[in-house]
A and B are shown apart, each in its own frame.
Chain A
Amino acid sequence: MGRSDAIFISMMTKKLTEILERIEAWPPEAQNELAEIVLERDAGLSNGGDQPTAEEPARGRRLRDLAEAGKRQYASIKENLERDHFGAYVMINTDTSDYVVGPTISQVDAAFIERFGEDAPSWSTRIGVSILVTI
């Protein structure tokens, strides 16, 4: 063992060192799964458990409500938008039903922030053409 290895190991607890040695024998999928848990903890994205965080159900409900409101508001202006701005992007402020239209999602996002601020709730889509992903 080199000098740098000795310094590295001394920074870990004995328990963690033993666990890491055992994990080396795990199948790759299990190692990847554990790596994901560690990376999530490191990025502050989860509580480390398999259960959703306390905020997850509320977040899910909030996003579903927002999506429903956006869809409903878009349906009421869809005909005019498809006639005048087919293929462009629309971003609707779901609090006020006001909206901005632009040629790309990036441009429409910038225009939305300028008009309504960063915190305004929004729903966006491409007019007359779905945003597609082949996965």
Chain B
Amino acid sequence: MKRPLVKIETPGFTDPLLAFVDTGFNGALLVDERQAARLGFSVVRNAVAPVRLASQRNENFLRGRGSFLWLGERRAIVAYVLIETPGERRARNARKTEEEILIGTELLADCRLEIDFPARKVLITRAM
């Protein structure tokens, strides 16, 4: 399945992060706890937010507070952080070959997003 992915240079990660641009996600950022720690986000341990997945299942997430370098500008944002046991996290990550985070429409609100599926190109620019 083709998915719109962009590579983002982020402090805390040696390799560029792979970000899945999820226009069906109306938050800013969705990460796991390890990614949140490496991005310098502080995960609020007693803050729960329910999120509805495409499967229509509701899942609880934690919130993470921090700043994120986005299109050259550092923004204070609240990220949704997956709640997982170490075993669940390990099983999920073992299926992946690269670090992946999710970017939603809150980050894209002042941007132009162009996806050219045949050319396999995703372009995000700040809207004038």
A residues whose Cβ falls under 8 Å from a Cβ of B: 28-29, 32-33, 36-37, 39-40, 43, 45-47, 49-53, 56, 59, 62-64, 66-67, 70-71, 104-106, 109, 118-126, 129-135
Contacts and interface: CB of A to CB of B under 8 A. Distances in A.
24 contacts: A36-B94, A37-B90, A40-B89, A40-B90, A45-B33, A45-B37, A50-B87, A52-B86, A52-B87, A53-B86, A64-B60, A71-B50, A105-B49, A106-B28, A129-B26, A130-B50, A130-B51, A131-B26, A132-B26, A133-B25, A133-B27, A133-B52, A133-B53, A134-B22
A45 B35 CA distance: 11
Nearest to A28: B97
Contacts of B95: 29
Given A33-B90, A33-B94, A131-B52, 20 more contacts: A40-B86, A45-B86, A50-B86, A50-B87, A50-B90, A51-B87, A52-B86, A63-B83, A66-B46, A104-B106, A105-B106, A106-B28, A109-B78, A124-B63, A131-B26, A131-B50, A132-B26, A132-B52, A133-B52, A133-B54
Nearest to A119: B46
A40 B86 CA distance: 8
A52 B89 CA distance: 11
Contact of A105 (B22, B28, B33): B28
Interface residues of B, number: 46
Interface of B: 20, 22, 24-28, 30, 33-34, 37-38, 44-54, 58, 60, 62-63, 65, 76-78, 80, 83, 85-87, 89-90, 93-97, 102, 104, 106
A113 B20 CA distance: 30
B50 A132 contact: no
Contact of B85 (A28, A43, A52, A71): A52
A133 B102 contact: yes
A135 B53 contact: yes
B86 A106 contact: no
A13 B76 CA distance: 43
Given A62-B46, A109-B63, A131 B78 contact: no
